[in-house]
Amino acid sequence: TRAQHAATMAAAWMMDWSPERVAFAERFFDTSCVAELQATSNHSLFGDLRVALVLFTEQACMRTLLWDLVSFVVQLTFAQLGSVPKPGTTLGTVGFVVWVTATLLQWFLAILALLNVPATYVALHHRTWPCMSPLSESWPEGPRLLDALALPTLAVQPVVFAHLVMIHIYPLVLHMGLNAARGTGG
């Protein structure tokens, strides 16, 4: 039957997923419904689920958050110590331009990464809305459980919070680096 085929397809797509990912997907989505939508779509809906799960679960893991924190501390420390290339010689000027360009690029990429989080959620929501678990079984066409959990907490999700911190750190780093290059202190 069609339902059995959809369930088999869902199981095949999620075969290499961790048990936590499978439990998450099955709590917030009807995976057989996603498999049925997948069969009629030219877009990888299970791929969308995988991206969303990576974005909201793996990027929120402790090693990623610790890496972000350590990189912030190192970058701020170097800027405060004046450890940025100083213009004056040709090599110093080239090094300073590369440092400023790299810092501006990191700032720009942090802004894009922050914008990518809600865009990913909106795209996932748009493509999989019929398969998302409803907030209330008595109101199947109403708001979705994932919406009720994700939207109010979006700004404090670790992946979003880390990008918000980076967006505020990079101008500070640039300011301290420019002051250090001018010799006016950090």
The predicted-structure confidence for 12-56, as pLDDT tens digits, reads as follows 656 666 777 777 777 888 877 777 777 666 666 767 776 666 656
Cα gap 22→150, rounded to integer Å: 18
Determine the pLDDT at residue 152: 81
Task: Name the pLDDT band for 186 (thresholds 50, 70, 90).
Answer: very low
The predicted-structure confidence for 76-103, as pLDDT tens digits, reads as follows 777 767 677 888 888 888 988 898 898 8
3-state secondary structure of 134: strand
Determine the pLDDT at residue 113: 86
Cα gap 50→40, rounded to integer Å: 19
Residue 6, pLDDT above cutoff 60: no
Instruction: Report which of residues 124 and 16 the model is more confident about.
Output: 124
Task: Name the pLDDT band for 176 (thresholds 50, 70, 90).
Answer: confident
| Phi, psi at 144, each rounded to 5° | -100, 150
Residue 58, burial from CB neighbour count under 10 angstroms (0-12, 13-18, 19+) = middle
The predicted-structure confidence for 51-77, as pLDDT tens digits, reads as follows 666 656 655 566 667 777 787 778 777
**Top mean-pLDDT range of 45-49, 53-57, 104-108, 162-166:** 104-108
Average pLDDT, the chain: 77
Cα gap 53→50, rounded to integer Å: 5
Determine the pLDDT at residue 103: 87
Residue 64, burial from CB neighbour count under 10 angstroms (0-12, 13-18, 19+) = middle
User: CA neighbours within 13 Å on the CB side: how many for 56?
Assistant: 25
With contact defined as beta carbons under 8 Å apart, do 132 and 121 qualify? no
